[in-house]
A and B are shown apart, each in its own frame.
Chain A
Amino acid sequence: MTDPLITATGDGVPLVVEPNTPPSKKLPPGEWVKANLFSNWYNSLVTLVMAVILIYLARFLIGWAIGVEWQITRTNLRNFMVGGFPADELWRPWAASLLIIAGASLGFGAMSRAEHETDVRNGIPSTKPTQLDLFRRFWPIVLLSIFFVSFARTTPPFIGVAVGIVGLFALREVGWRLPAVIRDRGVFVFAAFLLAGFGCLAGTGGLLAIVAGIIVAVLVSTELGRAGITTRAVVIAGPIAAGLVTYFVLSAIGLEGFGWDDWGGFHITIFATAVGIATGLPFGILLAIGRRSNLPVIKTACVIFIEFVRGVPLITLLLFSSFMLPLFFPAGSDTRSGLTRAMILITAFSAAYFAEIVRGGLQSVPKGQTEAAQASGMSPGAIQRLIVMPQALRNVIPAMVGQAIALFKDTSLLAIIGIADFFQYGEISNTQQDFLGKGLQPVTYTFIALGYWAVAYWMSRESRRLEMKLRVGVR
């Protein structure tokens, strides 16, 4: 290819043309202030008035934060974090958190390396993300951890948070350097650590065994695909067998732990959100597909479910879970814990909302996409899975993250049915004997608001990051 900056002058001598750059729009600070804040007399007036208001507010807030008694959060820090979790078993949530951080850090390090290698192989410019990039991604969470731990009265929490933060940054490097065999399976590295963490906390029975079984099945399935094995029987039976074996082995080990009836505080808030998203999204996708089905029975069932659940306030659904849902379980069987029942309803709730979001996404995929896939002989299932759904989901990432954030905040309603989540401890701590009637609600609710805000803001940033990433070179 010829250099576009060199053009022939006609006499055979190339003429080098200076590249055109857009004129700089950056102003020196003095001129910037003049242009943006004091361009004429009424703008100057507005600037001054706003400055006075802002300074007043800042002085008030700082003065309040310094002057107020934060003892209530110090005393209740453990309650806010893990609720009534048995005190001599606190190593479990710590181990779980650190394992999950380690898994995320290793996994994401490995995955970003794999992406980097693919880009390089395909001739797309790509550089290794720096530690600063990682900090930019996670700063709300890092700062929140530091904010939380600053209220601790003993040393171990400080050590725990320090290990977590150092681990986050250090293990990303390790993940980046993992051998290619492991690196290409970064997601499963993360999943393994997640399961290990969950096992530390809750033992190996029940839910963990099911989730582990599913993950192993997916792992085996992708490995078979990688190995190029396409024999129908093996491709279908292999993953199912591996998943079942995992399930039974883990169930048989029967390591004891503390189920979620012992959990509380920020811990349960995060967990309820994660479950609401992880189970609600797949069900939501199925509902959205069902609602577009040509079969009247399936379509009607999906419409009724979605419209019923969306038409009822979440509080009502939660109360329904504690009063009516037990009637659905056979008499005499164990009635399930309150949180299990609440999670069933939270799943239903988020599934209905996700379903409508996904349906919007499905409608946004042009008909030509389906037709092109049909014309090449692909099966309806493959078209849905490989062509329509990826585009539909990509188009609705902002709406889905919005729903995830809304769900995260809505979990505070768990308090209504007597589950002591992060939000509920605001009220609980204010009714303790030491703090009753002292009007410390502003303190506890500021603390709670910051906790919710940091996580929600982080989710919002991740959503924008994901959008940018998925749109690279697409439109």
Chain B
Amino acid sequence: MTDATVNADATAFAGTGEAIIKVENMDKFFGDFQALKNINMNVGHKEVVVVIGPSGSGKSTLIRCINRLEQHDAGRIVVDGIELSDDIRNIQEIRKETGMVFQSFNLFPHLSIIDNITLAPRQVRRMPKAEAEELAMELLTRVKIPEQAQKFPGQLSGGQQQRVAIARALAMRPKVILFDEPTSALDPEMIKEVLDTMKDLANEGMTMICVTHEMGFAREVADRVVFMADGEVVEVGTPDHFFDNPQEARTRLFLSQIL
């Protein structure tokens, strides 16, 4: 292992125009354990970044810091021109612009599918009910399950639930969507329907950061692949570079284990 693996720079971004997310020298500790070490990363407008790495490498923590589900301990995070601080209004503003899709869906089990989707637009954006419902139906059509609108999350399959979760994130019309291992809790036959939905989103120009183990998805959709291990960004590159010509020993080891 070479010392060149420490803290690769992920600041050069693809996409169009400005960087929408900037992470500078960011550290994160859980107690004494340093989960993220001096992360530098930018994400461009309309860019799709896929973050991969072994479990415990800090991938999820990284994206959870971006919308303040975890609080970073040092460095700066700027989302759409707003720096993340302790000010709750800043945090709310950033969360409005960043949707999130979780591994375990986290749909609200006491609300119907349509209410799951309309809740945040109505509460946060003060959207009138009729308009929110129209939007929700449009999004459900987009994720191909409009007929499930009146059901409850418990009545849907895992794949359908995750597609509702994506629709719920889209309902806030966010500028970025963070995906935290969206297919890891799904049965194999349902992974495809969720990945297809994500691919459609990417093709429509949504800015996305995806933590995932789906290498096929990374290869096909990503503009950039970020490989993390032990709380550090080890290697960054285009999918071609990353899968065909990895430079770092740890990347090669990881790829040899999973491919």
A residues at B contact (CB < 8 Å): 122-124, 228, 230, 366, 368-369, 371-379, 382, 386-387, 390-391, 394, 470, 472-475
B28 CB–A CB distance under 8 Å:
no
Tell me the smallest distance from the CB of A468 to a CB of chain B, in Å: 14
> Known: A377-B96, A475-B154. Contact between A390 and B110, CB under 8 A?
yes
State in angstroms the CA–CA spacing of A391 and B177 once bound together: 27
Also in contact, A377 and B95, with CB within 8 A (given A369-B108, A390-B110, A391-B110): yes
Closest to A382 in B: B123
Q: How far is the CA of A372 from the CA of B168 in the complex (A)?
A: 10
Chain B window 114-147, contacts with chain A (Cβ cutoff 8 Å), 1 for yes, 0 for no: 0000011001101011000000000000000000
Please state if B120 and A474 are interface contacts (CB–CB under 8 Å): no
- Chain A residues, CB < 8 A from B128: 228, 230
Residues in B neighbouring A379, C-beta threshold 8 A = 92, 123-124
In the complex formed, the residue of B with least CB distance to A375 is B100
Total chain B interface residues with beta-carbon distance under 8 A: 35
Shortest 10 CB-CB distances between A and B: which pairs? A122-B150, A376-B120, A372-B106, A375-B100, A377-B95, A368-B106, A377-B96, A473-B152, A377-B124, A475-B154
A376 touches which of B68, B110, B124, B154 (Cβ 8 Å): B124
Supposing A123-B150, A368-B102, A375-B98 touch, asked if A475 and B124 sit within 8 A by C-beta, the answer is no
Seen from chain B, the residues whose Cβ lies within 8 Å of a Cβ on chain A are 67-69, 92, 95-96, 98-100, 102, 104, 106-110, 112, 119-120, 123-124, 126, 128-129, 150-155, 165, 168-169, 172, 178
Residue contact A387 to B108, C-beta cutoff 8 Å: yes
**Cα–Cα, bound, A84→B1 (Å):** 91
Q: Is the CB of B108 within 8 A of A372?
A: yes
Chain A minimum-CB-distance residue to B100: A375
Nearest B residue (CB) for A122: B150
When A371-B102, A473-B151 are in contact, do A386 and B69 touch as well, CB less than 8 Å? Answer: no
Contact B92 A394 (CB under 8 A): no
Residue ID in chain A nearest B109 by CB atoms = A474
- A442 CA to B96 CA in the complex, in Å? 68
Residue of A124, A371, A377, A472 near B150 (CB, 8 A) is: A124
Interfacial chain A residues near B98, Cβ < 8 Å: 375
Bound-state Cα–Cα, A371 to B67, Å: 10
Q: B120, A377: Cβ atoms under 8 Å?
A: yes
Q: Is the CB of A228 within 8 A of B109?
A: no
Quick one: which of B112, B124, B172 has the most chain A CB within 10 A?
B124
| Contact call A375/B99, Cβ cutoff below 8 A | yes
* Contact partners of B129 in chain A: CB under 8 A: 228
- Contact assessment for A368 and B110 in the assembled complex, using a CB-CB cutoff below 8 Å: no
Which residues from B are CB-within-8-Å of A390? 110
Pair B172/A394 contact, Cβ less than 8 Å: no
Q: Measured between alpha carbons, how far is A228 from B131 in the docked complex, in Å? A: 11
Given A375-B99, A473-B155, A475-B154, check contact A369 B106 (CB 8 Å): yes
A379 to B122, CA, bound (A): 12
Give B161 Cβ to nearest chain A Cβ, in Å. Answer: 12
Which residue of chain A is the closest to B120 with respect to CB atoms?
Answer: A376
